[in-house]
Structure 1
Amino acid sequence: MQRKSLSYCLLIGFLGFIACKNTIRDCECVAPPETGMSYFYTSIKQFTTYEVQEIEYYITQEPTIKNYQIKELVATFFTDLDRQESLRIERYRRNNDKEIWQIEAVFTAKKRGNEALKTENNQTFVKFVFPLSENQTWNGNAYNALGKDDYTVKNLHQAFSIDNKVFPKTVTIVQQNDSTLVDLNKRMEVYAEGIGLIYAENKSITYCSKADCIGKNKIDFGKSIRMKIKDYGTE
């Protein structure tokens, strides 16, 4: 496979669609279907920075709150052990704008068949199955040993707002959304077209289950992580 950026491929497809659209009266061609591939990593040297808030809850003390920044950079192409073209994703971290980015981890991502895969900490997750459709479901843990974990597509191609900034075309992947009187487990990611991940939320919380507080959302212990886009571009 020639080493072309995904953005180049998307551009070629887009230009083909425009050419077809401009001559539709003559050729009666049909626009290609939207697969949703433009929600995944789209180009080499693309970066996205995020503001992260991490809260840990305890029964006997006040919550601990950490605020920091994460940066993900699509660094380069490489050929993996399966002889497939993959992306090297470098993750950096710092506490605030005044600090220098420090590399924290290296992930990989690739498209295999109709699946978009991302490997984090030696665990591979199925981020997307193309073409995307509303309420579509797949096993996000199909390539690891963590047990079945159904991901569901919601709000496909809908707008999403973060801090008064509107991203006109996004998709939400709900990984878990379980809530009872005594606990809450929620994991979801929002992706924007041409950018990738713009928002993520991961909550695992246990509420007070005593007679005088059950049902009042009083947190005994747990953890909550929220990550939202700060900036993006190309280096």
Structure 2
Amino acid sequence: MRYLLLLSFVWLLSCQREPVADTGPWYDYAPVATGRYNIYDVSEQRYALNAAPLQRTYQVKEVVGTPYTDATGQPAYRLLRYRRASATTDWQLDSIWAVQRTDNQLLRTENGQAFVSLLFPVRERLQWNGNRYNALGEEPYELRNVGLPYRVSDTTYDQTLTVVGQNDSTLVSQDKRLTVFAQQVGIVYRERVQLQFCSSTPACVGTNQIDYGIRQIYRLRQYGTN
């Protein structure tokens, strides 16, 4: 049934149109072309009340698919996401997202929610509402460290920028989201932290004892073009 739903989704997006061409050097931070792929090592910890943390590692492969015309008549690309438990197992299609790059922004539709991942042209401390096109409530995004190097695992990317979304930490919770883009590569690092700390008794407040939540990190392992 899941496979049939994915096929139905692809069929609904079958109307194709040429995407926007590269017209500025800032597009190097978000290359979008059919056949491009990024492979990530993902580490994840999930916490539940009165239970041991569930720790998992796996790999995710994102492949830019064929272009199509979205419901507003604008060009976009399918983003095919595959998952496997390790480098020795086979890829399995996990979901189909979408990516859309216009003259002034990069949109990623993830699990049915559209996010403004980048604004163009890029500049230090540029701010925008990342949830402009969804109903999740306003969330300020800010560009930082534009043009600076960033190291992921054993690789240093010379030209990068960091998009900081939510970044709040209190005695009872932590909410953090950031994404690092590298020139001619795209996303090289993603971090999502949503934790709720113990607050049921005065003794546990401020101890960072986790009641529930998730910590998830994507690190780029490989990229290229099929």
Q: Normalized against structure 1, the TM-score is what?
A: 0.83
Residue 221 of structure 1 aligns with which residue? Answer: 212
> Are residues 1:145 and 2:135 paired?
yes
Q: How does 1:59-98 map to 2 (within 5 A)?
A: 59-98=49-88
Instruction: Give the unaligned 5+ runs of structure 1.
Output: 14-33
Residue 11 of structure 2 aligns with which residue? Answer: none
Residue 174 of structure 1 aligns with which residue? Answer: 164
> One-letter code of the match for 1:187?
R
Once the two structures are TM-superposed, the CA of residue 108 in structure 1 deviates from its matched residue by: 1.5
Residue 95 of structure 2 aligns with which residue? Answer: 105
**Aligned mate of 1:39, from 19, 26, 29:** 29
Residues of 2 paired with 1:68 and 1:207: CA distance?
26
> Are residues 1:188 and 2:203 paired?
no
Once the two structures are TM-superposed, the CA of residue 202 in structure 1 deviates from its matched residue by: 0.6
- Length, aligned pairs only: 210
**Identity percentage of aligned residues:** 35
- Show CA shifts across 1:50-80 (max 9, x none): 0111111133121011111100001222222
Residue 199 of structure 1 aligns with which residue? Answer: 189
Residue 233 of structure 1 aligns with which residue? Answer: 224
Once the two structures are TM-superposed, the CA of residue 219 in structure 1 deviates from its matched residue by: 1.6
Q: Could you tell me whether the CA contact under 8 Å between 1:42 and 1:195 is conserved in 2? A: no
SS of the residue corresponding to residue 131 of structure 1 reads: coil
> Are residues 1:3 and 2:18 paired?
yes
Residues of 2 paired with 1:125 and 1:173: CA distance?
12
**What is the Cα-based RMSD across aligned positions, in Å?**
2.0
SS of the residue corresponding to residue 141 of structure 1 reads: coil
Residues of 1 paired with 2:112 and 2:48: CA distance?
30
Once the two structures are TM-superposed, the CA of residue 229 in structure 1 deviates from its matched residue by: 0.6
Segments of 4+ moved more than 3 angstroms: 1-6
Residue 107 of structure 2 aligns with which residue? Answer: 117
Residues of 2 paired with 1:120 and 1:228: CA distance?
18
Once the two structures are TM-superposed, the CA of residue 45 in structure 1 deviates from its matched residue by: 0.7
> Are residues 1:164 and 2:125 paired?
no
SS of the residue corresponding to residue 62 of structure 1 reads: coil
Once the two structures are TM-superposed, the CA of residue 2 in structure 1 deviates from its matched residue by: 8.0
Instruction: Give the unaligned 5+ runs of structure 2.
Output: 1-15
